[in-house]
Amino acid sequence: MENENQEAKKEIPDVKEKKKFSFNYDKYYKLLLLIPIFLLLLSLTYIGIFYSKNGDFINKDVSLSGGTSITINGEINQEQLEVALKPKFPDVSFTKLTDIVSKKELALIVESSASVEELQPEIESILGYKLNEKNSSIEFTGASLSKDFYRQLIMALFISFILMSIVIFILFRTFIPSIAVIFAVFADIVFPLAVIDYFGIKVSAAGIAAFLMLIGYSVDTDILLTSRVLKTREGSVNNRIFRAFKTGILMNLTALAAILPAFFIVTGLPDSFRQIFLILALGLFADILNTWLTNASIIKWYCVKKGIQ
């Protein structure tokens, strides 16, 4: 406790939080667990409803469902294109790329399951000029290939999750704490998935790769927590959880600091890039809850049951 006082002198804001924290934690840790569980159930329910409506867990973009994506450089009149293209291509969708700081519209992305040969001449006749490599990019993915890609990426996601689980089991070699970590990572994936579905964002191949990265990215705070609580014996369990929290929350914040500028400061970025960062950001946010409420509560519970001091 002497050590804590020393630290408290250095960092006054922490001390209040800590007192309140250790005061309530023994009583409320199980209750705290309810918050992320509620969120997880809500997300899972939403994804379930989404699945029953759409026949899949996500909205796939053309790189995963097959079709054409045309990126037209410069400021393009989206409404004009929308009005003219909708009747012929009911599934057409638009994404505008704007740089927030300069307010400059960089490009408009038009997506449809139609082939390039169908879509390109229509757009050209509406715009009144030919699309070439100077003013546009055209990407086409065949239907069967995209189906294959999607299946493989989902498989990769499963393999990734299983490999991660194996590493966790090897690291901790105890059942409940390992399961707690794996469960937290699972919840980290589910939350961004639900948010993305809710906002109707179309997921690209890069987006699914981001989910894979999230598995590796979100697990480090869980490892920190579990190893501090189970592998060291200085201070009480609460104390160790709190020390891990102090380190870990900074890790979460710096990780978010690496990701968030892509949404608020420099936004004129390739779509694949933006999507990877969006999914990581949502996952990291979920990770704050899932590490410090879900995982921490389970590990605390485990320590109480096992009598670990």
Binding to other proteins (CB under 8 A): which residues in 55-74? 71, 73
Is 50 or 248 the residue whose CB approaches other proteins more closely?
A: 248
- Of 140 and 191, nearer to other proteins (C-beta) is 140
**Cβ 265 to other proteins shortest distance, Å:** 6
Smaller CB separation from other proteins, 32 or 153: 153
| Structure token digits, residue 38 | 């509620």
For residue 201, what is the DSSP state? P
Distances (CA, A) of 277 to 192, 207, 217, 264, 283: 11, 9, 12, 12, 10
27 versus 257: smaller Cβ distance to other proteins: 257
- Out of 27, 53, 103, 144, the only residue in the binding site for other proteins (CB under 8 A) is 144
- Is 100 near other proteins (CB under 8 A)? no
149 binds other proteins (CB under 8 A): yes
Does residue number 79 form part of the binding site for other proteins (CB under 8 A)? no
* List of residues 6+ apart from 158 with CB closer than 8 A: none
Q: Is 133 in the site for other proteins (CB under 8 A)?
A: yes
Written as six digits, the tokens of 226 are 């579990």
SS3 assignment, position 18: helix
Single residue of 57, 127, 139, 201 touching other proteins by CB under 8 A? 139
- Distance, in Å, from the CA atom of 276 to the CA atom of 206, rounded to the nearest integer, reads 6
Q: Considering only the stretches 23-31, 88-96, 152-160, 191-199, report the one whose residues sit in contact with other proteins under the rule CB under 8 A.
A: 152-160
Q: Does 166 bind other proteins (CB under 8 A)?
A: yes
Q: Hey, which residues between 197 and 216 contact other proteins (CB under 8 A)?
A: 205-206, 209-210, 212-213, 215-216
38 exposure class (CB count in 10 Å sphere: 0-12, 13-18, 19+): exposed
End-to-end CA distance of the chain: 15
User: Are 21 and 173 within 8 A, CB to CB?
Assistant: no
DSSP label at residue 72: E
- Rule CB under 8 A: say whether 121 interacts with other proteins: no
Nearer to other proteins, 179 or 224 (CB): 224
> CB of residue 161 vs other proteins: minimum separation in angstroms?
8
Please tell me whether residue 251 binds other proteins under the rule CB under 8 A. yes
Which parts of 220-239 interact with other proteins (CB under 8 A)? Answer: 220-221, 223-224, 227, 231-232, 234
Give which of 111, 133, 134, 139 is closest to 123, Cα–Cα.
111
Residue 167 lies near other proteins (rule: CB under 8 A): yes
Largest CA distance in the chain: 77
